[in-house]
Amino acid sequence: MKKTIVMMLIAIFAVSMLLMGVGCKKEAAPAEEVAEEAAPAEEVAEEAPAEEEAEAEAEEPFPSTISGEVTFMSYWTGGVEAEALDMIAKKFMEDYPNIELTIIPKPGDEIYTVIQTNLASSDPVDSFMFWPDAALKPFVDQGLVAPLTDIYEAMNYDEIAPGVYNWARFPGHGDTPYALPINKLVFATFYNIHKFEEAGIEKVPETWEEFLDVCQTLQDAGIVPTARSAGTIGLPHWSWLDRFGTRTMDDYGSFLQSVKDLSIDWTDPRFTKACSYWDEMLPYWHPDSTSLTYGDIYMMLARGDIAMQTLGSWIIGSYETEMGMVPFEDYDMFTFPIIDPDIPIQETGNCNSAQLSMAGKDNIAAQAWIAYWMRPETQEMYCNYTSNAPAIEGIKIDSPMISKISSVFAGRKLCYQFQLGAGLHDLVVAEVEKRSYGLITQEKLAENLNNIYAEWREKEE
Amino acid sequence: MIPAYAMIALIIFFPIGFTVYASLLRWRGEGFDMKFIGLQNYIDMFNDPRFLNSLYNNIIWIILYLILPMIGGFVLALLLNTNLKGQTFFKVVFYLPGVISFVVVGIIFSLIFNSSHGMLNEILRALHLDILAKQWLGSRLLALPSIIIASSWQYVGFCMILYLAGLQSIPMDVLEAAEVDGAKFHQKVFKVIIPLLKPVNVVVVMITLINSIRVFDLVYVITHGGPFRATETIGFVMYDVSFRALLWGEGSAYGVFIFLLTTIPSIIYVRHMLKTEVSY
Best mutation target, A119, A140, A288, to test chain B (most B CBs within 10 A): A288
Q: For residue A37, what pLDDT is reported?
A: 37
Would you call A439 an interface residue with chain B, using a CB distance cutoff of 8 Å? yes
What's the rounded mean pLDDT across residues A1-26?
A: 57
Contact A120 B30 (CB under 8 A): yes
Best mutation target, A8, A17, A121, A290, to test chain B (most B CBs within 10 A): A290
Name the residue among B4, B227, B241 with its Cβ closest to that of A6. B4
Q: Who has greater pLDDT, B114 or A450?
A: A450
pLDDT single digits (tens) B208-217:
999 999 899 9
Domain ranges of chain B: 2-275
Name the residue among B1, B26, B244 with its Cβ closest to that of A426. B244
Contact B247 A144 (CB under 8 A): no
A455 to chain B: closest CA residue: B44
Instruction: In whole angstroms, give the CA distance from residue A426 to residue B216.
Output: 18
pLDDT at B143 over 90: yes
| DSSP classification of residue A165 | G
Give the domain A65-184+351-391 fold. D-Maltodextrin-Binding Protein; domain 2 (3.40.190)
Q: Is the peptide bond before B227 cis (omega within 30 degrees of 0)?
A: yes
Instruction: In whole angstroms, give the CA distance from residue B56 to residue B231.
Output: 10
A349 beta partners:
A186, A416
pLDDT at A442 over 60: yes
Q: For residue A16, what pLDDT is reported?
A: 55
What's the rounded mean pLDDT across residues A258-267?
A: 92
pLDDT at A293 over 60: yes
Q: How distant, in Å, are the alpha carbons of A18, A224, A291 from that of B124?
A: 58, 21, 19
pLDDT at A44 over 50: no
Tell me what the pLDDT averaged over chain B comes to. Answer: 89
- Phi-psi domain of A24 (left: phi exceeds 0; alpha: psi -120 through 50; beta: other): beta
Q: For residue A33, what pLDDT is reported?
A: 36
All CATH 3.40.190.10 domain ranges in chain A, comma separated: 65-184+351-391, 185-349+413-460
Question: Three-state SS for A175?
Answer: coil
What's the rounded mean pLDDT across residues A98-103?
A: 96
Name the residue among B29, B135, B227 with its Cβ closest to that of A231. B227
Sign of CA dihedral A45, A47, A52, A54: positive
Select from A128, A142, A127, A129 the least CA-distant residue to A173: A142
Percent pLDDT > 90 in chain A is 44
Which residues of chain B does A13 touch, with a Cβ-Cβ cutoff of 8 Å? 3, 7, 10
Residue A128 neighbours by CB distance under 10 Å:
28
Select from B171, B169, B212 the least CA-distant residue to B70: B212
- Give the helix/strand (H/E) hosting A53: helix A47-59
What's the rounded mean pLDDT across residues A17-41?
A: 40
What's the rounded mean pLDDT across residues B192-204?
A: 88
Select from A299, A332, A309, A338 the least CA-distant residue to A197: A332
pLDDT single digits (tens) B236-250:
999 989 888 888 999
pLDDT tier for residue A42 given thresholds of 50, 70 and 90: very low
Q: For residue A258, what pLDDT is reported?
A: 92
Q: For residue A161, what pLDDT is reported?
A: 75
Select from A375, A344, A443, A351 the least CA-distant residue to A132: A351
Q: For residue B147, what pLDDT is reported?
A: 96
pLDDT tier for residue A338 given thresholds of 50, 70 and 90: very high
> At CA A290, angle to CA A260 and CA A193, rounded to 5?
95
Q: For residue A30, what pLDDT is reported?
A: 37
**Binding-site residues on chain B for chain A (CB distance < 8 A):** 1, 3-4, 7, 10, 26, 28-32, 113-116, 135-139, 143, 223-229, 240-241, 243-247
pLDDT single digits (tens) A110-124:
788 888 888 888 889
Q: H helices of A304-441, where?
A: 315-317, 364-372, 376-386, 400-409, 424-436
Spatial contact of A367 and A62, defined as CB atoms under 8 Å apart:
yes
The architecture of the domain spanning A185-349+413-460 is: 3-Layer(aba) Sandwich (3.40)
Instruction: In whole angstroms, give the CA distance from residue B73 to residue B169.
Output: 17
Gap from B136 CA to chain A (nearest CA, Å): 9
Q: How distant, in Å, are the alpha carbons of A146, A204, B78, B167, B171 from that of B178?
A: 80, 79, 16, 15, 12
pLDDT single digits (tens) A214-240:
999 999 999 999 988 665 544 456 788
pLDDT single digits (tens) A281-292:
999 998 877 777
What's the rounded mean pLDDT across residues B46-59?
A: 94
pLDDT at A32 over 50: no
Residue A194 one-letter amino acid? H
pLDDT at A12 over 80: no
Instruction: In whole angstroms, give the CA distance from residue B30 to residue A32.
Output: 39
Q: Which of A107-121, A135-149, A153-167 has the lowest mean pLDDT?
A: A153-167
What's the rounded mean pLDDT across residues B13-36?
A: 86
Contact B246 A437 (CB under 8 A): no
* φ, ψ of residue A414 in degrees (nearest 5): -120, 125
Q: For residue B277, what pLDDT is reported?
A: 58
pLDDT at A47 over 80: no
Best mutation target, B34, B44, B112, B116, to test chain A (most A CBs within 10 A): B116
Spatial contact of A184 and A164, defined as CB atoms under 8 Å apart:
yes
* φ, ψ of residue A333 in degrees (nearest 5): -140, 160
Which residues of chain A does B138 touch, with a Cβ-Cβ cutoff of 8 Å? 230, 287-292
pLDDT at A348 over 50: yes
On the CB side of B13, CA atoms within 13 Å amount to 7
Q: Which of A160-164, B120-124, B134-138, B164-168 has the lowest mean pLDDT?
A: A160-164
Q: For residue A107, what pLDDT is reported?
A: 82
Instruction: In whole angstroms, give the CA distance from residue A47 to residue A147.
Output: 39
Residue A357 one-letter amino acid? S
pLDDT tier for residue A393 given thresholds of 50, 70 and 90: confident
Best mutation target, B35, B224, B247, to test chain A (most A CBs within 10 A): B224
Q: Which of A37-46, A104-113, A147-156 has the highest mean pLDDT?
A: A147-156
The architecture of the domain spanning B2-275 is: Orthogonal Bundle (1.10)
